[in-house]
Chains A and B, each alone.
Chain A
């Protein structure tokens, strides 16, 4: 089972990275290459963080939480915590990228929208993966299922993230970003809303 999880996890990261490179048009020049690098690092960080932060912790403390609160509140707290954690982590990764490679490769139009885009990407990845993880933890193979479902929910997040970052960080004039904003907001709202609405059904037992 462990090796299967490892393979599936590797598959997720590999395929998602390839897809990120594909969406970035495959140009490995300074800006796009470093942006790809940031996306891949964000993916690793996101998947790894959520894998570690399982709804049912191994020592059984998860069941203790359910004694104190409802599934809805638990899902809300997990989504917000993971989302904020990843948002801060992604901002930190971005700062590190600028620290190591300087700012010459970027062309940021507006620092506020740039900051906001990274924040929303982090939140979207956190809430989406928490949603998926909440489902996967009720199965017999949480690792494998998380990997399978993560791939499905990460693709839309990645798709929006790449469009937004190309627009905000590289000032790509040809890049349309309105749909990217809509998609990233929806990838925040949708998993968060569905977690709240549907987890009481999911976590009945």
Chain B
């Protein structure tokens, strides 16, 4: 009998816990998503790419060129390694002379006295890596440029596919820092999400539902944390890609202003003791802050022609790079995962704020 009761108690407790866990399914999902995002964003290799060539000027006759690749397999696949120079839409094949490593080889190429274009790119091809290239600005020594020039056709053409392996896009300047996309951009999405919750709650406060104030402040505070994280991750990214921690960019200045405005919102709240008054005053300022945030981060940067920031002033956003969808496969879960984490922190913060208000602890 006693054993039966113990078993029943155990079942009730277990099912109770399972029931409780089921209510928090989204927290488990957030953990799974962020684990996936962290692992894949850090462990996914970059696809092969061309890093550099050691030539500034090409001349008539033989040119010796050193080609440096990244994540390439020149040595491993040396039997199939081929190299080319593209001139406009036409091709000249070179001859591999020395292979130093998987990432470096030398080749020579004979150039005629007339070329059809000034647009020159250096290609290396292996079946493993596909075609990788370096598009480099080079000078022309004694070579005449004539757009009517017809170069001899290649004997054995190769596929122009860039790569066949799974990996993040290889982008000059960005290189390995492209992984920061999974951390930097979702911070801003999460911030918008949380500030949106705060805005809705503020409207409710203004319509007389004072209890919504705790939602407004909790979500705004967590949103502010995500704003700081966005600024920090952006600053680190800028250091590695632009060479500076901060630059005079409208997107960056706008983000900093948003931070200041929301910091003022928190300071405003801390300065008012009366709960109802605090709720109303901060709700009014919150509406102002949110509209200003949209203006500064979503509208204004798109009107500027001189922004360095991707997606602004003609700089391509990542959707253009992401032809093989490898970034999307991690980026979208990252946005959802970070937003869910933000929401999770917000629920904890809300409990804390409720306790504070109940106990009148500042």
Q: Does A74 contact B (CB under 8 A)?
A: no
Contact A176 B288 (CB under 8 A): no
| A139-B281, A179-B250 given; A159·B257 CB < 8 A | yes
Stretch at the interface among A45-53, A61-69, A88-96, A186-194: A186-194
> What is the interface of chain A, defined by CB distance below 8 A to chain B?
23, 25, 131, 135, 138-141, 144-145, 148-149, 151-153, 155-156, 159, 174, 176, 178-179, 182-183, 186, 190-191, 194, 198-199, 201-202, 204
Contact A155 B260 (CB under 8 A): yes
A-B contact pairs, 7 of them (CB 8 A): A138-B281, A140-B273, A148-B264, A178-B303, A183-B295, A198-B283, A202-B284
A199: chain B residues within 8 A (beta carbon): 284
A-B contact count (CB 8 A): 91
Contact yes or no, A156 B257, CB < 8 A: yes
- Cross-chain contact B253 with A174 (CB below 8 angstroms): no
B306 proximity list for chain A (CB < 8 A): 174, 176
Q: Which of A25, A138, A148 contacts B277 (CB 8 A)?
A: A138
Mask, B253-288, CB within 8 Å of A = 1, is 100010011011101100111000100110111011
CB neighbours (8 Å) of B272 from chain A are 139-140, 145
Establish whether residues A194 and B284, one from each chain, have CB atoms under 8 Å apart when the complex forms.
Answer: yes
CB nearest neighbor in B for A203? B280
Name the one of A145, A176, A179 contacting B268, with C-beta atoms under 8 angstroms: A145
How far in angstroms is the closest Cβ of chain A from B198?
15
B291 within 8 A of A: yes
Residues of B at under 8 Å CB distance from A? 206, 248, 250, 253, 257, 260-261, 263-265, 267-268, 271-273, 277, 280-281, 283-285, 287-289, 291-292, 295-296, 299-301, 303-306
B267 to chain A, nearest CB (A): 5
Query: CA of A190 to CA of B301 in the docked complex: distance in angstroms?
Result: 18
CB distance from A130 to the nearest CB of B (A): 12
What residues on B are CB-neighbors of A152 within 8 Å?
Answer: 260-261, 263-265, 289
Q: Is the CB of A176 within 8 A of B305?
A: yes
For the complex, give the distance between the alpha carbons of A182 and B295 in Å: 9
Contacting residues, chain A, for B299 (C-beta < 8 A): 182
Q: How far is the CB of A205 from chain B (nearest CB, A)?
A: 8
- On chain A, the residues within 8 Å of B300 by CB distance are 179, 182-183
Beyond the given pairs A152-B264, A186-B295, 17 more chain A to chain B contacts, judged by CB atoms under 8 angstroms and listed by A's residue number, are A135-B268, A140-B271, A145-B272, A149-B264, A152-B260, A152-B261, A152-B289, A153-B261, A153-B288, A155-B257, A156-B296, A178-B304, A179-B303, A182-B303, A186-B292, A194-B284, A194-B287
